[in-house]
Chains A and B, each alone.
Chain A
Amino acid sequence: MATRATTQGIEGRSKRRGGLLLTLALGAALAGVAAMGGVATRADAAFTEKVVFASNRTTGTGVNNPTGDFEIFRMNPDGTAVRQLTANGVDDFGPVLSPDKTKVAYLSYGKQTSNPEGDLEIHIMNASDGTAKRNLTHNRAGVDDYYPIFSPGGKKIAYTSTGKRASNPEGDAEVYVMRSLDGTGQKNLTNNGLEVPGDYPVSDYASDFSPTGDKIAYVSLDKQGSNPEGDAEVYRMNALDGTAKENLTHNGDDVGDTFADIIS
């Protein structure tokens, strides 16, 4: 599924940079990753907002990154006051700010104390100084968790998880939700497996909360009752329990309502 989507994203454009995720060789599992930078609040003189980003820089004031992997940084909106928030020997990337801008959720990939398996996990830390780091999705090896999205109130994080586990026996991409404080309450909202026997399992990728937090929009790919063609469609469901799923873009074969460019 994800491989197909990746191909779709690359289609029509021969020149495509060798990006971080490709470097990480996670391929299909990571095809849905779409985390990004943002603007954070901090009460520094003159600037009350910060831009968070990932960089593999090894030099610069206050930079501690001898291994040259990707680390999370923040800076003023004019590029000054760069501060490094993560410092380890593994790749940290895809920072997303909490709604109150006090926390940064990010992806970390590679073996470390908080992640002995080295698979892709969602971590969280303080946006101001990188303290209070925590692996929110600490689970078994081979389960990759990515694409975190904060609820409007900041207490929940929706994300995409790939890899076999008790709550996802097929191991395909599913939309989960958990508490942002400690990663507890993990729930598979799109547990739909093989809707059509013999076909691929249905892959679901988290996309966005509604402003009131009661709904989650997501992209669903492959054959199911509400999508007999199996192309990518935009769905929404109740954020609490995944009920009331509705295909909003039901529009026939070969129409991909996807974030294909994001997953290229």
Chain B
Amino acid sequence: MEMMSATPSPTSSPDGKTIAYESSGVQMYNDEGDKEIYRMSAFDGKNKKNLTNNGADVNDSYPVYSPGGQRIAYHTYGQQTSNLDGDYDVYRMSASDGTGQKNLTDGKEGVDNEYPFFSSDGTKIFYESQGIQDSNLQGDHEVYRLNTSDGLGQKNLTNNDANDRVFPD
């Protein structure tokens, strides 16, 4: 079975043709200068595209490719229609054009969901969650998973009173 590990940003697409990365600062297609996820040709840096061009103060970062390369999962913070409380949530979108953006972890205010990575078949996303919620009464760091397609099937995999981390920030 083919497996996937999470990768840092900038990250190479599975076929090696594209690099996804995070960029901030006022530039073409990003008048607000907040953090956006771009993609470009891995060969020469051409064909840059802002995949998450979504208004001021919505900061999108940490892109990771699905095993097949069709999707990018990422985390974002800042208020938008799909994230009214503006906390960190895990999204997914089309890797080619940024369409189909979906907040997979929209829930209780003040719960931060970050650092997604895909299962080997791409159907699940693992991530780190922090903040008090029904499945995490202590509100400490826990490792969760959910369905890539609809965000359902959320499960706290490490439910205990200690911190469980996939990412050491």
Contacts and interface: CB of A to CB of B under 8 A. Distances in A.
Interface of A: 8, 12-13, 17, 19-22, 33-41, 48-49, 51, 53-60, 68, 70, 73, 75, 77-79, 82, 93-94, 96-97, 101, 107, 147, 149, 207-212, 215, 217, 219, 231, 234, 236, 246-264
Contacts of B165: 20, 37, 53-55, 70, 93
B85 interface: no
Nearest to B45: A248
Given A36-B6, A55-B165, A210-B42, A258 B22 contact: yes
Contacts of A56: 162-163
19 contacts: A8-B24, A21-B168, A35-B168, A36-B166, A39-B126, A55-B160, A56-B162, A57-B162, A96-B5, A101-B3, A210-B12, A234-B40, A247-B45, A249-B40, A255-B27, A256-B25, A258-B23, A258-B24, A261-B61
Contacts of A234: 10, 19, 21, 40, 45
A75 B124 CA distance: 15
B158 A251 contact: no
B75 to A, nearest CB: 8
B4 A38 contact: yes
A59 B164 CA distance: 13
Nearest to B115: A36
A152 to B, nearest CB: 9
B10 A207 contact: yes
A21 B163 CA distance: 13
Given A21-B169, A51-B157, A53-B164, A37 B143 contact: yes
B35 interface: yes
A261 B22 contact: yes
Given A51-B143, A53-B143, A260-B35, A210 B62 contact: no
The range of chain B's interface size is 35 or more
Contact of A38 (B16, B117, B158): B117
A210 B16 contact: yes
A254 B26 contact: yes
Contacts of A40: 3
B134 interface: no
A164 to B, nearest CB: 24
Interface centre among A36, A54, A219 (most CB of B within 10 A): A36
A40 B166 CA distance: 13
A79 B62 contact: no
